Structure 1
């Protein structure tokens, strides 16, 4: 029986409790528990990192480094936050370090893959392009705060922990990011019209 199934049977309360049980098992050297955490968080981390790192190989390296830190530091986790917040904090810090150390050059054209439903795909690509252009006008801290809030569903305290800043700094970053996007997105969508 897998560690995840054991955790679900022992701790029926919810996902956070499963993560806590898995992390406790990792702290005791359980490689299956680490694999279960990796499988549970890999897709979320890929989505998170794809906003900051365009190179798939660099994103995978950051994820692997993140879980190496989880393996090494699991025993030091004291439960002051959710396991997910702790893992995303590790990934965020490793991402910032990787971007400082290695840079991030794209490997391929990000729009050259799928051609299945041209109309919907074109409209979706256009909206994504507008959003990406709008997000590019924000500071890195503003983009990360938005992503952690809206894509990952973290609350203000968790975002503050991930970003190693105060809750008021998170609130300020989110406020300024939303304000800026409210002004620039219409200009990006309709470049011929003056705002």
Structure 2
């Protein structure tokens, strides 16, 4: 059985081959890459922006950039992180065009707030919403990418273009603000590198 690290390497190698073909104008390779990433990008973009109405626009814009810059991926540590970075920047651009915030305050519930029998726990949802509303936009973004999606601190720095030391500081500040409101979030900070 392959380890997670081997699967990531295999996936990255496959993605790099697709990007080589895309760099030479292969539209079928672009379609394959698009279908491979579409669902992941939908989840990622919703978690990052909380604006469903821009997701398709952002994904299409991202793949236009990928089509144009496929030859540039050699510089990226992993193709998936390169693609997420493109999508992140496209999402921030789309939000600026619309004059919207990166997080819609009415939709801040990040985590499933249900009991073991599947019933929603309103008190927990309210505590999470209240706790997250205390964070700055950057703190929420880093917190969501690390704890909501599971990216490493290094990956968050690469995706967002925020220096690693700033990513770490944002996460520490977010946890400090949330510790009193949400004691179950008083967990150890993720390590840098792949999760």
Same fold (TM over 0.5): yes
Shift of 1:160: 1.2
Pick from 48, 55, 61: which aligns with 1:59? 55
Give the structure 2 partner of residue 86 of structure 1.
82
Give the structure 2 partner of residue 131 of structure 1.
128
User: Are 2:144 and 1:147 aligned?
Assistant: yes
Pick from 153, 158, 162: which aligns with 1:156? 153
- Counterpart-to-counterpart distance in 2, 1:126 and 1:59: 30
Preserved CA contact (<8 Å) 1:149 1:155: yes
Deviations 1:11-54 (A, max 9, x none): 99521212222222211212222122212222222112213434
Distance change >3 Å, CA 131–CA 157, structure 1 → 2: same
TM-score normalised by L of structure 1: 0.72
TM-score normalised by L of structure 2: 0.72
How many matched pairs?
168
Give the structure 1 partner of residue 23 of structure 2.
27
Preserved CA contact (<8 Å) 1:142 1:176: yes
Pairwise CA RMSD: 3.1
Shift of 1:168: 0.8
Distance change >3 Å, CA 77–CA 175, structure 1 → 2: same
Deviations 1:40-89 (A, max 9, x none): 22222211221343442311111111111111111122233211111111
- When Rg is computed on C-alpha atoms for both structures, the one with the higher figure is 1
Distance change >3 Å, CA 74–CA 133, structure 1 → 2: farther
Preserved CA contact (<8 Å) 2:48 2:144: no
- Counterpart-to-counterpart distance in 2, 1:18 and 1:124: 42
Q: How does 1:37-48 map to 2 (within 5 A)?
A: 37-48=33-44
**Ranges in structure 1 where 5+ consecutive residues have no aligned partner:** 1-10, 111-116, 187-195
**Ranges in structure 2 where 5+ consecutive residues have no aligned partner:** 1-6, 108-113, 184-195
Preserved CA contact (<8 Å) 1:53 1:104: no
Pick from 85, 97, 100: which aligns with 1:101? 97
